[in-house]
Chain A
Amino acid sequence: MNVRVEPPLALLAELSHRCPLQCPYCSNPLELERSGKELDTKTWTRILDEAAAMGMHQVHFSGGEPTVRKDLEQLVEHATKVGLYTNLITSGVLLDEKRLRALADRGLEHVQVSFQDTEEANADRIAGFKGHQKKLEVARLVRKIGLPLTVNAVVHRQNIDHVPDFLEMAVELGAERIEIAQVQYYGWALKNRAAFIPTYEQLQRTTKVVEEARKRLKGVLVIDYVVPDYYAKRPKTCMGGWARRFLNISPAGKVLPCHAAESIPNLAFDSVHEHSLQWIWDNSVAFNKYRGTDWMPEPCKSCDRKEIDWGGCRCQAYALAGDAGTVDPACELSPLHEAIFGLAMKEASAEAPEFIYRRIGTDETPDAPVFGHREPAE
């Protein structure tokens, strides 16, 4: 492919995989990058320069927990200087008023704080960390110093019935937006899937709650809500399409089309140590492999939604079908769709297994695809 590609809209800067929390649905790869490999300040500022020069609009500082980096203030300041809109995606537990003010003074535009539940005990159990109260405190501080706040609620069978409380909490905190996100099943979450998949009834109830709240809270709270893939009829438009809208940089400098892309084996990703962002965006073999519509097999190839959802999520296609180059099984037109739906129903109705918490160095083997032919006999 040698057509000049539109530049991405936003940079996802994963500053570190370090995080005091251990959420069992963490989107970080099973093989977490250690702190010794993290990019230094100079490299990050160079990346921000390049991102701005490419025409990107926003930078999202995330992780892991981005506030573990002592140079976060410096990076926010630099990003602002080169004209990027800055957003901090944080668990909040390491922040205090002084640091928040310092970040705001350097141009931080927005903070997203994640919550594991609305009930303290359950929230702390899910996070594997006693942090719920601190999160509430930090969310209030964000508003106190006048920054806009998004409440990020990752929902699943063990907290989805609290969505009404989540909505209330967001309003009470003065958030302008809530993201009711479903667990996405790759990485740690795939290992814990049976502990997370909500039942179909839970989901229908929640969807109703959200629809009602959208009307009631119009103009007060923006509500982002997506139905979990396994119960959907059509896949979500993952990242606005593979390598079309976003560029994700891992703590060690690997350039990825999305944070989960490394869950697909045999895709080689380039590093910021070797090439410029622009070069990687245009030339990365991994980016070009599933970019656009040329790679698509049937049923996507002749589908009129192919430029809407771009065939769904590549990571999910790999995780479920064993082939990243096939239709996302979340799509009704996938031959695997019914099996996936059945699997979700089955897992959701059984008792929830114990969590496998996210930890550095506890993983043995990556998961084999669920229905793919590559699955070893067990």
Chain B
Amino acid sequence: MERVVLSESSVPAFPRGVKFRFNNAKQQWVILAPERLLEPDETAVTVLKLVDGQRTLGGVIDALMAMITIDPPPRDVVATDVVAMLQDLADKAFLIDAAKVPQKAAAR
């Protein structure tokens, strides 16, 4: 295994064993992974909903930009934040790059 380094051409995806899902009883989004659990904040949830194993990271950023209608910040500012956030998740084994290991990407 090699470290996943994300760039705009990467295709972020949840690997098998990692589930991003909505908990009905709690009305809350969570990322479930082997013996770990993350409760992403609202911003993270917005971004993670765009992670579908199809879109490139660049595509995720574009889609996000399209959602910000009032006072959108410059794209590179948003890009830096999103890449950093997703890279952090990749380092914790919550995300893979499906462009590199397509067979590992799981359907959601």
Contact = CB atoms under 8 A, between A and B. Distances in A.
Interface of A: 7, 9-10, 52-55, 57-58, 60, 83, 85, 87, 109-110, 112, 146-148, 150, 171, 174, 176-177, 179, 218-222
Contact of B37 (A57, A150, A218, A222): A57
B34 A55 contact: no
Contacts of B32: 57-58, 85, 109
13 contacts: A52-B25, A57-B32, A58-B35, A109-B32, A148-B16, A171-B1, A176-B34, A177-B34, A218-B91, A219-B2, A219-B3, A219-B91, A219-B93
Contacts of B35: 58, 60, 87, 110, 112, 150, 177, 179
B25 A58 contact: no
Contacts, number: 75
B37 A176 contact: no
Interface in B1-58: 1-5, 15-19, 21, 23-26, 30, 32-35, 37
A147 B25 contact: no
Contact of A177 (B2, B26, B93): B93
A222 B92 CA distance: 6
Contacts of B60: none
A57 B24 CA distance: 10
Contacts of A150: 34-35
B1 A148 contact: no
A54 B25 contact: yes
B90 interface: yes
A57 B5 CA distance: 29
B34 A220 contact: no
Given A150-B34, A150-B35, A174-B1, A109 B19 contact: yes
Given A218-B3, A219-B90, A148 B37 contact: no
Nearest to B103: A146
A110 B37 contact: no
Contacts of A57: 23, 30, 32, 37
B93 A222 contact: yes
B37 A109 contact: no
A112 B34 contact: yes
Contacts of A87: 34-35
B16 A7 contact: no
Given A109-B34, A148-B17, 18 more contacts: A9-B37, A10-B37, A58-B35, A85-B19, A85-B32, A109-B19, A110-B35, A146-B104, A148-B34, A150-B34, A150-B35, A176-B93, A177-B35, A218-B91, A219-B2, A219-B93, A220-B2, A221-B1
Interface in B86-104: 90-93, 104
A179 to B, nearest CB: 8
Nearest to B2: A220
Contacts of A221: 1
Contact of B25 (A55, A177, A222): A55
A267 B90 CA distance: 43
B69 to A, nearest CB: 34
A177 B66 CA distance: 37
A298 B3 CA distance: 46
With most chain A CB atoms within 10 A of its CB, the pick from B17, B18, B92 is B17
Contacts of B3: 218-220
B104 to A, nearest CB: 8
Contacts of B25: 7, 52-55
B85 to A, nearest CB: 15
Contacts of A148: 15-18, 33-34, 93
A85 B23 CA distance: 11
A177 B18 CA distance: 13
B23 A219 contact: no
Contacts of A60: 35
